[in-house]
Amino acid sequence: MTNYIGRFAPSPSGPLHFGSAVAALASYLQARSQSGRWIVRIEDIDPPREQPGASDAILNTLTTLGLLWDAEVTYQSQRSRTYDDALERLHAARLTFACCCTRKELAGGPYPGTCRDGHDAAKSARTLRVRIGHGEIAFDDLIQGRVSLNRQSIGDFVLRRADGLYAYHLAVVVDDAASGVTEVVRGVDLVESTTQQIFLQNVLGYPTPRYAHVPIVLDEFGAKLSKQTFAAPIDAMRPSSVLFNALTFLGQNPLVELVDASPEEILDWAVRNWQIRLVAKQSKAS
């Protein structure tokens, strides 16, 4: 074993579909090909978007595919205390502020800074935001190359939502650091989120992992396959063909004779032959 730690972090908003199987497989192979550890974290911090039974269904599908993880699965729903500690530290560093703007008032653009220096006393606070400051945030993605965003285009983002739930960026950064994750391999739809996460890592004093964003699978209309839009769950009866197709999608040219092989045989070949440089670069889906 090396000190490499990779992870797969599905949200239980539905069963695993082919797109999430691709992300799971890529992060698994990137870890195992370096004799690293691979962990699974269930991102169940958004109960309104959860589907009952989805967490277990996802874990069962991973097992059927032979994508076996190290260590116990962690659940974000059990980690509120840790997220509160991080919020407390950001608050003590004067990096947070309460915001009373509604989504409608903000109309979807980057946050204009309305409540940054105090909010209208007649209105009640809704969300907690972080002050992001000025300048660029950049990183070198193993697949996508240099990614750079201006902080003004990101805007002071939400850490705790109006419904009291923790925001994704906060939870993901705290958990990746707590698990000692050294490299994040996930879908390219999250590539820009990485800048917010790197910002939080810096202000919380956490190391920044390496990042590799793999292409996402699109449906016939060019939209991302997504649990929320009810993408078909993968066929648990045919794990070998799911793995074979996912390897093909990831540019790994699996041997034709592997079509009829067992999941274990396919993964054994894939770990030995995995080459991240063969994974296609794909710009963020619109």
Segment contacting ligand GLU by CB under 6 A, of 3-11, 67-75, 211-219, 266-274: 3-11
Segment contacting ligand GLU by CB under 6 A, of 8-16, 30-38, 86-94, 236-244: 8-16
Shortest spacing between CB 113 and ligand GLU, in angstroms: 27
Residue 101 or 216: which CB sits closer to ligand GLU?
216
Q: Is residue 9 within the footprint of ligand GLU (CB under 6 A)?
A: yes
Query: What is the distance, to the nearest Å, from the Cα of residue 64 to the centroid of all Cα atoms in its chain?
Result: 22
CB–CB of 214/185 below 8 Å?
yes
Residue 203 or 225: which CB sits closer to ligand GLU?
225
Among 6, 10, 209, 233, binds ligand GLU (CB under 6 A): 10
Q: Is residue 61 within the footprint of ligand GLU (CB under 6 A)?
A: no
CB–CB of 138/93 below 8 Å?
no
Q: Is residue 11 within the footprint of ligand GLU (CB under 6 A)?
A: yes
Q: Is residue 42 within the footprint of ligand GLU (CB under 6 A)?
A: no
Segment contacting ligand GLU by CB under 6 A, of 9-17, 110-118, 156-164, 268-276: 9-17
Distance, CA of 173 to CA of 193 (rounded, Å): 11
Among 39, 54, 181, 190, binds ligand GLU (CB under 6 A): 190
> In the complex, which residues of this chain contact ligand GLU (CB under 6 A)?
9-11, 43, 172, 186, 190
